[in-house]
Amino acid sequence: MGESKKRKRRGGKKGEEEQQAIPSPSAKRTKLKEPSTFLEKMRARLSGGHFRMINEKLYTCTGKEALDYFKEEPSLFDMYHAGYKSQMSNWPEQPVNVIIKWLKKQSPSFVIADFGCGEALIAKTLKNKVFSLDLVSSDPNVIACDMANTPLASSSVNVAVFCLSLMGTNYKSYIEESNRVLKPGGWLLIAEVKSRFDPNTGGADPEKFSNAISELGFKSVKKDFSNKMFILFYFTKKEKQISKRKEIEWPTLKPCLYKRR
């Protein structure tokens, strides 16, 4: 009888140990979350690494080379824009929204050329006729082309916009193309990262940049330095263009490269 009680007690203790060894449902859920979170972090790091690689490529090659680059692997364009959106989400204000606000105050009959349109927010927001131009098009309303060689007719648009899109080493060719497609008296709006225009850290002198564009055939109307992250330049195309102009000295724009965090 005493032995039987001992066995029962031992059996009871063993049963308790077995129960304790079996994890509760909540414990299972906790353990499952850890690898999921780890994988998400790894995917984010890989995505960020790809973005930095593509971003550096775009800042250190010509527009034609960038076009060929994305033609070979169009999915890289989507990868780049996913990383771009992630970076821009940290900005207190988006330059495209400032430009859209300005455009809403202009005539609804203005025809707009959005060079390097990205998600084509200008076309999606305004009722104006907008030519959305970029290196790759997954949208039937976006024209895939080299920014230095667009299919737009000469003197056909009222406003040309470059919103963080002067990325190629031949950026002057993009501005020359905007001069070709703009009507006399038309507007040229350029928003660029502020660090690209800091001479103290290797950036271009904003005055030299503005003067080069003026020599091309534009009049500088306004420079807006009020934002912490970007500068906005406003120009108008002169009514009378110079047939023969001297060689323009274009400053080198500092690439906007992101460091690994």
CATH number of 94-237: 3.40.50.150
Give me 156's structure tokens: 């056909």
Q: What is the pLDDT at residue 72?
A: 86
Domain boundaries, the chain: 25-87, 94-237
Q: What is the pLDDT at residue 37?
A: 61
Q: Bridge partners of 144?
A: 134
DSSP state of 260: P
Q: What is the pLDDT at residue 196?
A: 93
SS3 23: coil
CB 163 within 8 A of CB 99: yes
Q: What is the pLDDT at residue 40?
A: 52
Give me 62's structure tokens: 């010509």
CA dist., res. 84 & res. 88, Å (int):
6
Residue 252: partners with Cβ closer than 8 Å, 6 or more residues away:
204
Within this chain, domains 25-87 and 94-237 share the same CATH topology: no
**108 membership: H or E segment, kind and range:** none
| DSSP string for residues in 194-259 | GGGG-GGGTPPPHHHHHHHHHHHHEEEEEEE--SSSEEEEEEEE-SS--SS-PPP-PPPPPP-PPP
Q: Left (φ > 0), alpha (ψ -120 to 50) or beta: where does 147 sit?
A: alpha
Instruction: Burial-class residue 54 by CB neighbours within 10 Å (0-12, 13-18, 19+).
Output: buried
Block means of pLDDT (10 residues each) for the chain, 261 residues, are 48 45 44 47 53 84 89 83 82 95 98 96 98 93 95 98 95 97 98 92 93 96 95 96 81 79 51
Q: What is the pTM of this model?
A: 0.78
Residue in the block written with tokens 């775009």 = 58
Strands 129-134 and 142-144: parallel
Task: Pinpoint the alpha helices (H) of the chain.
Answer: 2-21, 25-59, 63-72, 75-88, 95-104, 121-125, 171-181, 206-217
CA dist., res. 104 & res. 116, Å (int):
20
What kind of architecture, by CATH, is found in domain 25-87?
Orthogonal Bundle (1.10)
Phi and psi at 140, nearest 5°, equal -60, -20
Phi and psi at 150, nearest 5°, equal -90, 160
Q: What is the pLDDT at residue 104?
A: 98
